[in-house]
Amino acid sequence: MGSVLVALNGAEVWAYVVETDDGLRVRFDLDDWQWMDLGQGQRVPVRLPGKGDVWLFITNVTELPPIVWVMMARRIRAAG
């Protein structure tokens, strides 16, 4: 998909988006990510250009300053 304007939990930021079978892998600027104040385990509405809102879980956050990679999935596995 590439670099697009992403609406995430009501905030719009530019991000590099890769669509996966289960959701999204997104690269944010670390400052944007910290400003949105989101974290692993949260379920948030995500809107990509030309598409409607989809609720995704934040399943993994990897900070590699000055960027952060965030994995988002439609479902998460239960422990056990």
pTM: 0.90
Which string of DSSP letters, residue by residue, matches the chain?
-EEEEEEETTEEEEEEEEE-SSEEEEEEEHHHHHHHT--TT-EEEEE-TTS--EEEEEEEEEEETTEEEEEEES--PPP-
pLDDT confidence band for 42 (50 / 70 / 90)? very high
Fold that domain 2-73 belongs to in CATH:
Thrombin, subunit H (2.40.10)
How remote is the C-alpha of 42 from its chain's centroid?
10
Quickly state the pLDDT bin for 39 (edges 50, 70, 90): very high
Domain range annotation of the chain: 2-73
- pLDDT, residue 76, reads 76
Q: Does the pLDDT at position 26 exceed 70? A: yes
The pLDDT value given to residue 80: 63
